[in-house]
Structure 1
């Protein structure tokens, strides 16, 4: 079943800093990586507020469709416990992720942990539960031996980064690079997005350098610089 609440989708796909949820809730780790045979893993949630906080915690499968858009799906591979928790002011809570049936996999699996702060009392609006704050963090299940394999091409006003590998790539600080490599044209600073295995990330380009002036796309993958030749069409 696809999660289709527009407000949820709009808020989920930017990695939020450790001072998340308006500085009230911090979560560690921000990016979870679990080996496929590991039975469980743990998050630490800390409420830095002077008031108690009530939180709903959910885990969704994370996919990128053929249109390049991210989607959250119901899943039963992983269990989150507790699914709801009241964290006292300046208190902490351990949240455990449990794999129901750990087994080897030759491709990385992608999930999103969604944490929502909600009122701990019933609203006058009844079922229209008001979400006070929300954050989303990526969780990956796979071995260190899995890796990405990227290619780049420009089509229909978007730079498309294709991943034919077996693990995700996290892109940041993207720019065009001139053929002689002595000029850079910034595309986006900071986090650009993720390319999941077997999928594409589409980066809309508002303005491109003159034809023939660039040949390369450069960015960082988890802080490591890389450069791709921009193909004329997808292969």
Structure 2
């Protein structure tokens, strides 16, 4: 699925001041694949961690069960359903290592099981540098999906006016696997494109989330309209909607 080079900065601050780039220290790494898909029959899958920088890196991996709260916010809890072997990764500059993500517990039920694999730098493992006032720990959180046969999303969306130039699309996933909208396109009943939003988010099974879609050039007219939702797998769902005046 490619390599993610723009990583989440956790930022371990020694003070409240803003420091110059020369006063900070951070490693750079990438992980592939960026999303992990497993079937119930899979016992393990390969994950590659690459040190993109010129300094040695020490990485630590943790596995979390991944749920979502009713509003779509992530709810993570450490789990032993899966393990990454080895859990501590030491990488020389410009090197890579293949590790194994293994499943310890069997998949249960007809609903997709969802996890997060978080690989983070251990900055304390680096030698102290008196010229560095700030150490930044880099981390990457990737989704892991264990999908039983027949599990699939079922997305239903509706809209309501949230402002003169904004509508709010609320989507509910009533299926048994995740859905991830990537783009929302609102058009008039005659086919005129009114507003577009090119970002979305995960909806795990039984989750409902809302996404605001803003028109760039004026008011969104009321009346009958169509909402097209493009998912991460390239499919597009179309919904007939009504926008209030």
| 1:180 equivalenced with 2:166 (yes/no) | no
Are residues 136 and 182 of structure 1, via their aligned partners in 2, closer, same or farther at CA, if it must alter by over 3 Å? same
Q: Distance in 2 between matches of 1:49 and 1:163?
A: 41
Q: Residue 138 of structure 1: CA displacement?
A: 0.9
The match for 2:237 is 226
Q: TM-score, normalised by structure 1?
A: 0.78
Q: Distance in 2 between matches of 1:82 and 1:156?
A: 51
* 1:73 paired residue among 72, 77, 89: 77
Q: Residue 131 of structure 1: CA displacement?
A: 4.5
SS in 1 for 2:105: coil
* 2:221 paired residue among 204, 207, 210: 210
Q: Distance in 2 between matches of 1:60 and 1:202?
A: 25
The match for 1:153 is 158
The match for 1:37 is 41
- Structure 1 unaligned regions, length at least 5: 1-14
The match for 1:95 is 99
SS in 2 for 1:192: coil
CA RMSD, Structure 1 to Structure 2 (Å): 2.9
| 1:84 equivalenced with 2:88 (yes/no) | yes
The match for 1:141 is 146
Q: Residue 224 of structure 1: CA displacement?
A: 2.4
Q: Residue 56 of structure 1: CA displacement?
A: 1.7
- 8 Å CA contact 1:150, 1:161 repeated in 2: yes
| 1:166 equivalenced with 2:176 (yes/no) | yes
Q: Distance in 2 between matches of 1:180 and 1:90?
A: 55
Q: Residue 67 of structure 1: CA displacement?
A: 2.1
| 1:192 equivalenced with 2:197 (yes/no) | no
Q: Residue 167 of structure 1: CA displacement?
A: 0.7
Q: Residue 89 of structure 1: CA displacement?
A: 0.7
Q: Residue 214 of structure 1: CA displacement?
A: 2.7
SS in 1 for 2:150: coil
Q: Distance in 1 between matches of 2:100 and 2:220?
A: 48
Which digits, 9 at most, give the CA deviation of each residue in 1:199-222, with x for residues without a partner?
A: 122214456723226332432332
Q: Distance in 2 between matches of 1:47 and 1:31?
A: 19
Which digits, 9 at most, give the CA deviation of each residue in 1:148-200, with x for residues without a partner?
A: 1110123584421101111111221222122222324112x2x4111111112
| 1:19 equivalenced with 2:14 (yes/no) | no
- 8 Å CA contact 2:188, 2:225 repeated in 1: yes
Q: Distance in 2 between matches of 1:180 and 1:149?
A: 27
Q: Residue 113 of structure 1: CA displacement?
A: 1.3
- 8 Å CA contact 1:33, 1:141 repeated in 2: yes
